[in-house]
């Protein structure tokens, strides 16, 4: 028997302090072992456990900047041994080798292609 799929998707423009609060709520929920996402009468309850798939994409193209974060979990045998990531304010991050060599790329943004018609987005949690 196939289980029913529950999905809740919210998109819109939000001020930075609200985004920070949502991310802090997500961290608290992850630490508790249960992530409940709700809005109005809709809700999805997720139970992340074990090893979590982590995908982060950051891009900058002209005036458009984008950060997409996706967490997923199913059956991962083991964490990736070579996974290395640092996130923080630009002033706190160590310079990348490209910046030390005088490259014009920003140390705070990855150079990934973005959809020029899409606003910045954060996708949090997907479980199957």
Burial of 37 (0-12, 13-18, 19+ CB in 10 A): buried
Triad 25, 63, 102: Cα angle to 5°:
95
Element (H, E) at 21: helix 16-32
Six token digits for residue 71: 């967490």
Q: Are 33 and 48 in contact (CB under 8 A)?
A: yes
Give dist(CA 19, CA 25) in Å, integer. Answer: 10
Q: What is the pTM of this model?
A: 0.61
Distance of alpha carbon 49 from alpha carbon 51, whole angstroms: 6
pLDDT in tens, 8-65: 888 899 999 999 999 999 999 999 988 999 888 888 888 888 889 999 999 999 999 9
How far apart are alpha carbons 43 and 128 in whole angstroms? 16
Q: Give me 92's structure tokens.
A: 């706190």
Going from N- to C-terminal start, the domains of the chain cover 16-127
Q: What is the pLDDT of residue 127?
A: 41
């Amino acid at each position: 028997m196939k289980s029913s799929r529950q999905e809740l998707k919210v998109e819109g423009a939000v001020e930075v302090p609200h985004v920070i609060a949502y991310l802090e709520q997500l961290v608290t929920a992850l630490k508790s072992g249960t992530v409940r996402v709700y809005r109005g009468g809709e809700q999805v309850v997720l139970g992340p456990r074990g090893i979590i798939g982590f995908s982060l994409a950051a891009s900058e193209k002209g005036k458009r900047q984008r950060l997409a974060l996706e967490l997923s979990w199913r059956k991962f045998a083991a964490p990736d041994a070579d996974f290395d990531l640092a996130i923080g304010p630009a002033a706190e991050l160590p310079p990348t080798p490209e910046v030390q060599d005088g490259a014009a790329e920003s140390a705070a943004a990855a150079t990934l292609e973005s959809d020029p018609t899409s606003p910045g987005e954060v996708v949090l949690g997907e479980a199957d």
